[in-house]
Chain A
Amino acid sequence: MTTTLVAEVVIEPESNVAPVVMPETPVPVATDVTFRIRRYQPDFDEEPHWVDYTVALYPTDRVLTALEKIKGEQDGSLTFRRSCAHGICGSDAMRINGRNRLACKTLVKDIDISKPITVEAIKGLPLEKDLVVDMEPFFAAYRQVLPFLIPEGHEPTKERIQSAEDRARFDDTTKCILCAACTTSCPVFWTNEQYFGPAAIVAAHRFIFDSRDAGANARLEVLNDKEGVWRCRTTFNCTDACPRGIEITKAIAEVKQALIFRRI
């Protein structure tokens, strides 16, 4: 892909700020990119099948942009979920070139476009149509780990006091957007739907390690189940898949530790 570079701009701020060098600004060029999408129309198809579509895209376009263009210009029946389009709502997790990613956070420039880009629904949840799966089993597992604050004692008049260090203890797991990229990348989940899956354990972690919460034992009891946290085989797929960069395998390990020692 060719890019033309525009001259560097040097900014001289007027006051007490060091000079800043602007990045080179490439002038974008659109390229034809082929997507191989696994289609399934339950009203008409017996089985899922692959269909190729070619669209002109800029390097900074997202895979979601490509799907929108295909739906808008080529085949309105192509079906996928999307909402915010910048990686915060968790609607558009899908398998792109065999890896779970958010379509809105995957840029054309970051994938190999020399061969068709495969796009298919996330695995392990019932396929409903094209890139849409039934999310209900995923949310059911989430609900089981008691994902809400269970306080004890009298309610304070103002806020509960929590130190910045205590707040930082569970910061990472508060970032979860419930996109299911982790759970549906987990080989244990693929073969055993009863397994809670990483996202539910992340939700449990977020509360178990919150100093304001007193429900850890109840949650640990749930996760001590034979389909609970012990099923994790530490393959790190979940951590690799997380679009929010949560250290999921570490969180699961911390929950396992808490179970072994029954202390937080």
Chain B
Amino acid sequence: MQTHEFDVIIVGAGGAGMRAALESSTRARTAVLTKLYPTRSHTGAAQGGMCAALANVEEDNWEWHTFDTVKGGDYLVDQDAAEIMCKEAIDAVLDLEKMGLPFNRTPEGRIDQRRFGGHTRNHGEAAVRRSCYAADRTGHMILQTLYQSCIKEGVEFYNEFYVLDILLNEETGEPVAAGVVAYELATGEIHLFKAKSIIFATGGFGKVFKTTSNAHTLTGDGMGIIWRKGLPLEDMEFYQFHPTGLAGLGVLLTEGARGEGGILRNAAGERFMERVAPTIKDLAPRDMIARAMVQEVREGRGAGPHKDYVYLDLTHLPKEQIESKLPDITEFSRTYLGVDPVTELVPVFPTAHYAMGGIPTNVETEVLRDNVNIVPGLYAAGEVACVSVHGANRLGTNSLLDINVFGKRAGIAAANYANSVSHVELPRDSQAQTIALVEQLRSSTGGERVAPLRRALQETMDMNAQVYRTEVTLKQALIDVQGLRERYKNVSIQDKGTRYNTDLLEAIELGFLLDLAEVLVVSALERKESRGGHAREDYPARDDVNFMRHTMATRKIDAQGQEYVHLDYKPVSVTNYQPMERKY
């Protein structure tokens, strides 16, 4: 076993991790530990853009952006955090441009901007052009630009190092960050990293669902590690389903397609969003559109041989516009469905896309261990975190914004903290738990295999905890997930080798997915209202009296030694905006 010592350890090399690294590495000795090569991170799959009220093409200001974010999040957004994000958005975009990001340009050579769902002029009057973009590969360009800047700054990466545990020193009775334990994929070796500050930037857990836009690698490792440490997870019931996944596949087609003028139609050709959101129609927030699409299919107006999807119609847009502004999604449709968006309607249906919830932090990105107190030295940013700027439903483009604004804040805060303290002692036998986890899986002779368990998990989650939920479906999901957790105890792997053991890796990932699925379902069962991405058919109205509060879930052990999900709640931070009915 090797031991390393750094001031700051960043776990994850997507947008948030690398944006943090750029700040931290110039201030303190920093290492980035990543399960994947940095350029493989899923930030690269983001397409449509990054909103900031630059007002390059029409009147706009960050207060309108804040309002849209709060309303889009169905008033579960912490408004102080949203204000910070929308105000700092402008510099976040300019920072990227200065690093070299090739944004599309206006005729005057400024950064061009386009419309996006839920982003409006003057508190909902009409759609506004706020999204700064690079064709439909904005995330790709952000990931590449940040990686290139990291090379320029000489950031130290440990590629294909899978962090499996966080070490907390509890000598004073309160946890303080001390380091992490990582598994080196190439060799199977365990590494211990001592650190004064640790930033978690490990992304989401879309792989709990079967139909998802998420990468295979998005298995909630960071949230899972925090959960197993007995630290809380916030608002885990709020999961976003992106309206336009390629039907049957889940591959993302950007909302930018509708920003460019695309229209959703049912089998009869009707533009059904006119009925649901008369003012901004196909540019309503994602939760509303996803529900409307499911409703069309349920009421028999779906298209295709099984009437189980709707259409995205771009055929009225000029070919030139489609091919220059939306080249990647055009290619995805052609490659995976054999459908040419220039002349044909594209079959689409909602796809699991983004976790609004995650590791609770304050606006300085410090991780909370309860509703008030932080874990000194521990930070989180990006999809893994819940600040909460997305509330019950994230607006399109606000994720790329989140990773840049809060990634930068995390890098600065973590480095400043590291420069103000000494290393704390690692707890005794720091690596024992991780070695036991790895060895148990490697030597297990149980009869269960990873792939069938994972499939069963994904199927019950798609069936029972997706766009619409009821007590009956959620209870079914809970029974299924708990049954799978039992079966997981007998999981074994076939690869007994040490090098690049992805069989072992996938078994560990499945453990995290099962834990998080249970947290999601239990949190969803107890939220007896409909808000944003959490739509309960048995409680169809939003209930601000009882539920305008964040769910805080913690792993506890009962008197019989059984672990269970304990739920508590945290107030929403309200500054300027009182909850109103959400109409578009």
Contacts and interface: CB of A to CB of B under 8 A. Distances in A.
Interface of A: 6, 9, 11-18, 20-23, 25, 27, 41-44, 60, 68, 71-73, 75-77, 79-91, 105, 107, 128-130, 132, 135, 139, 143, 147-149, 151, 155, 158-164, 166-167, 170-171, 174-178, 207, 210, 212-213, 245
A76 B110 contact: no
Nearest to A165: B105
Nearest to A151: B98
A76 B304 contact: no
B110 A129 contact: no
Contacts of A149: 98-100, 148
B44 A84 contact: yes
A43 B500 CA distance: 10
B500 A171 contact: no
Contacts of A155: 98
B37 A14 contact: no
Contacts of A20: 269, 313, 315, 343-345
Given A22-B344, A77-B494, A167-B104, A89 B99 contact: no
A25 B305 contact: yes
A147 B149 CA distance: 9
Given A25-B305, A86-B336, A163-B109, A72 B141 contact: no
B494 A148 contact: no
B216 A174 contact: no
Contacts of A88: 44-45, 137, 140, 328
B40 A91 contact: yes
A47 to B, nearest CB: 16
Interface residues of B, number: 80
B537 interface: no
B234 interface: no
Say whether chain A's binding surface is mostly helix, strand, loop, or mixed. loop
Contacts of A18: 315-316
Given A20-B344, A88-B140, A83 B500 contact: no
B479 interface: no
B339 A23 contact: yes
A167 B344 contact: no
B105 A163 contact: yes
B277 interface: no
A84 B252 CA distance: 11
Contacts of A72: 449-452
Contact of B36 (A76, A83, A151): A83
Interface in B125-151: 134-135, 137, 140-141, 144, 148-149, 151
A148 B152 contact: yes
B503 A83 contact: no
A24 B386 CA distance: 45
B304 A25 contact: yes
